[in-house]
């Protein structure tokens, strides 16, 4: 097959890694011709551009394809996408993310592309937007959905959300879990002691990790607020924040005002290959994002054998099962968040039990080879 993937920007993120892995598998496992079309990876979140190129993925950058709405630049991006698709002549166009999903689907549809697929990694509309903005993005997504043949959701929750919002019908959607390379997470604990020593943690300290961009709606402020009680009742805890972003100085300020500077550590941006060893150094993984399709850190932590405490949003409940793989708490439920963390801090046997169950349940389900095989079968079905 000839397959064009389109994504707004190749920053360090779950949707981006999903896309790169799919492209690599299509090329190296299935022998397909692939072109990855993207905008420039602007911003403090890092880049996967060199990773994609090193993996043998042909990449075309469209400078005008940006995340922010800009009518003139967006028209330029649409025309550039049309040219790129026409020149490549794909059998399948597969889009990702809101901006690339909207412009890419329209461009492919108007060119008569035989099969057009879009993956919903996370809804572009959510309750934390203004009513006008939320309705605008909902209508954009609904219009774009009519310009494609199949929708892939990374979690059943994404399909349910889109169906309830009258964006798409359920029969047009297929859930395909967002795959990853699982082996590094299976061996995450092999370097636990050396990584903890490098980070400065003592053996008796319980390390609570969070891996997320320091960005709006990721919930870092909630974790800082909950940490006050956790530290008061369990002073042996330490918090490790992995990632960077525009809100770092704001979060650091909140930590100082709370008197928690000695309990928090930032890694800044780290290469993706370092994530498994960092998870290995943790005892508990926390995820306080207020909107997410299915955050990759959740299965990553579980495959590494770590229990998870997560807000009950979107697809989180499909992997974080209270009492089986971790604890789900209501969004912004700071009391429940601190209680769940403390229950794991004080019970290492329970941490081990929950982590082991998560590993056994989700390792095979999240192999990227399985993801790509399912995606390619959707392509083949549409082409037939």
Q: Mean pLDDT, to the nearest integer, of 55-79?
A: 97
pLDDT for residue 13 = 85
CA atoms within 13 A of residue 310's CA, in its CB half-sphere: 32
CA-nearest of 32, 23, 15 to 60 is 23
Q: At a CB cut-off of 8 Å and minimum separation 6, what does 146 contact?
A: none
**Residues 202 and 324 placed together within one structural domain of the fold:** yes
pLDDT for residue 313 = 92
For residues 214 and 237, is the Cβ–Cβ distance under 8 A?
A: no
Helix (H) or strand (E) holding 233: helix 220-233
The two tokens of residue 332 are 């912004």
Q: pLDDT tens digits for 1-32?
A: 999 999 999 998 889 999 999 999 999 999 99
Question: Which residues in the chain belong to E strands, given as ranges?
Answer: 2-9, 33-39, 59-61, 92-96, 115-120, 150-153, 173-175, 206-211, 237-242, 264-268, 284-287, 308-311, 326-329
Q: Mean pLDDT, to the nearest integer, of 273-294?
A: 95
Q: Work out the pLDDT band at 293, boundaries 50, 70, 90.
A: confident
Q: pLDDT tens digits for 39-64?
A: 999 877 789 999 999 999 999 999 99
Q: pLDDT tens digits for 101-151?
A: 999 999 999 999 999 999 999 999 998 999 999 999 999 999 999 999 999
**Residues 283 and 218 placed together within one structural domain of the fold:** yes
Question: Which residue in the block uniquely carries the two structure tokens 């500077």?
Answer: 261
pLDDT for residue 143 = 97
For residues 113 and 137, is the Cβ–Cβ distance under 8 A?
A: no
The two tokens of residue 180 are 């990853």
CA-nearest of 348, 357, 265 to 304 is 357
Read off the CATH number of the domain in which 316 is found: 3.40.50.2000
pLDDT for residue 42 = 87
The two tokens of residue 43 are 């911003």
pTM beyond 0.85: yes
Q: Compute the distance between CA of residue 97 and CA of residue 101 in angstroms, rounded to an integer.
A: 5
Question: Nearest 5°: phi and psi at 55?
Answer: -85, 5
**Residues 233 and 353 placed together within one structural domain of the fold:** yes
What percent of the chain has a predicted confidence (pLDDT) above 70? 100
Q: What share of the chain is helix, strand, coil (3-state, %, to 5)?
A: 50, 20, 35
Q: How many CB atoms lie within 10 A of CB 322?
A: 15
pLDDT for residue 45 = 79
Question: Which residue in the block uniquely carries the two structure tokens 């709006």?
Answer: 216
Q: Compute the distance between CA of residue 205 and CA of residue 58 in angstroms, rounded to an integer.
A: 45
The CA angle 213-218-221, to the nearest 5 degrees, is 110
Q: At a CB cut-off of 8 Å and minimum separation 6, what does 327 contact?
A: 307, 308, 309, 310, 320, 340, 343, 344
Q: Work out the pLDDT band at 370, boundaries 50, 70, 90.
A: very high
pLDDT for residue 110 = 97
The CA angle 166-168-174, to the nearest 5 degrees, is 140
**Residues 328 and 193 placed together within one structural domain of the fold:** yes
**Residues 209 and 350 placed together within one structural domain of the fold:** yes
> What 3-state DSSP class applies to 367?
strand
pLDDT for residue 19 = 97
Question: Which residue in the block uniquely carries the two structure tokens 């798409």?
Answer: 168
**Residues 271 and 246 placed together within one structural domain of the fold:** yes
Question: Nearest 5°: phi and psi at 307?
Answer: -75, 155
Q: pLDDT tens digits for 295-307?
A: 999 999 999 999 9
> What 3-state DSSP class applies to 128?
coil
**Residues 228 and 330 placed together within one structural domain of the fold:** yes
- Residue range(s) defining the domain that contains residue 63: 2-179+367-383
**Residues 345 and 219 placed together within one structural domain of the fold:** yes
Q: How buried is 228 (Cβ within 10 angstroms: 0-12 exposed, 13-18 middle, 19+ buried)? A: middle
CA-nearest of 8, 17, 113 to 62 is 8
Q: Work out the pLDDT band at 95, boundaries 50, 70, 90.
A: very high
**Residues 166 and 198 placed together within one structural domain of the fold:** no
Domains identified in the chain, total number: 2
**Residues 170 and 194 placed together within one structural domain of the fold:** no
| pLDDT of 272 over the 90 cut | no
Q: At a CB cut-off of 8 Å and minimum separation 6, what does 349 contact?
A: none
pLDDT for residue 192 = 96
For residues 355 and 321, is the Cβ–Cβ distance under 8 A?
A: no
Q: Compute the distance between CA of residue 282 and CA of residue 196 in angstroms, rounded to an integer.
A: 8
Q: pLDDT tens digits for 179-221?
A: 999 999 999 999 999 999 999 999 999 999 999 999 999 999 9
| Helix ranges (DSSP H) in 90-182 | 98-110, 131-145, 156-164
pLDDT for residue 91 = 98
Question: Which residue in the block uniquely carries the two structure tokens 């890092």?
Answer: 46
**Residues 6 and 125 placed together within one structural domain of the fold:** yes
| pLDDT of 265 over the 80 cut | yes
pLDDT for residue 20 = 97
Output the average pLDDT for the chain: 96
**Residues 168 and 235 placed together within one structural domain of the fold:** no
Q: Mean pLDDT, to the nearest integer, of 315-325?
A: 95
């Amino acid at each position: 097959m000839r397959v064009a993937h389109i994504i707004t920007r190749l920053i360090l993120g779950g949707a981006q890694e999903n896309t790169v892995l799919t492209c690599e598998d299509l090329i190296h496992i299935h022998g397909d011709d692939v072109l990855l079309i993207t905008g420039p990876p602007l911003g403090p979140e890092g880049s996967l551009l060199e990773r994609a190129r090193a993996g043998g993925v042909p990449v075309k950058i469209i400078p005008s394809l940006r995340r922010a709405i800009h009518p003139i630049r967006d028209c330029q991006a649409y025309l550039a996408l049309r040219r790129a698709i026409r020149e490549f002549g794909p059998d399948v166009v597969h889009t990702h993310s809101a901006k690339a999903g909207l412009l890419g689907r329209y461009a492919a549809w108007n060119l008569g592309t035989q099969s057009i697929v879009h993956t919903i990694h996370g809804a572009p509309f959510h309750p934390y937007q203004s009513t006008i903005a939320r309705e605008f993005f909902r209508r954009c997504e609904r219009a774009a959905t009519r310009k494609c043949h199949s929708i892939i959701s990374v979690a059943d929750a994404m399909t349910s959300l889109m169906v309830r919002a009258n964006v798409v019908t359920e029969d047009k959607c297929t859930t395909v879990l967002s795959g990853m390379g699982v082996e590094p997470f299976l061996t995450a604990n092999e370097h636990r002691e050396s990584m903890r020593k490098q980070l400065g943690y003592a053996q008796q300290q319980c390390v609570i990790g969070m891996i997320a961009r320091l960005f709006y709606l990721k919930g870092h402020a909630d974790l800082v607020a909950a940490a006050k009680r956790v530290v008061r009742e369990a002073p042996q805890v330490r918090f490790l924040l992995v990632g960077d972003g525009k809100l770092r100085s704001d979060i650091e300020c909140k930590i100082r005002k709370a008197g928690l500077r000695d309990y928090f550590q930032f890694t800044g941006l780290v290469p993706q290959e370092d994530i498994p060893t960092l998870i290995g150094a943790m005892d508990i993984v926390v995820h306080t994002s207020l909107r997410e399709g299915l955050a990759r850190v959740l299965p990553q932590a579980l495959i590494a054998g770590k229990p998870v405490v997560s807000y009950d949003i979107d697809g989180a409940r499909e992997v974080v099962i209270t009492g089986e793989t971790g604890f789900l708490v209501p969004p912004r439920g700071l009391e429940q968040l601190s209680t769940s963390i403390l229950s794991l801090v004080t019970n290492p046997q329970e941490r081990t039990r929950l982590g082991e169950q998560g590993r056994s349940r989700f390792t095979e389900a999240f192999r990227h080879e399985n993801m790509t095989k399912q995606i390619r079968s959707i392509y083949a079905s549409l082409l037939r």
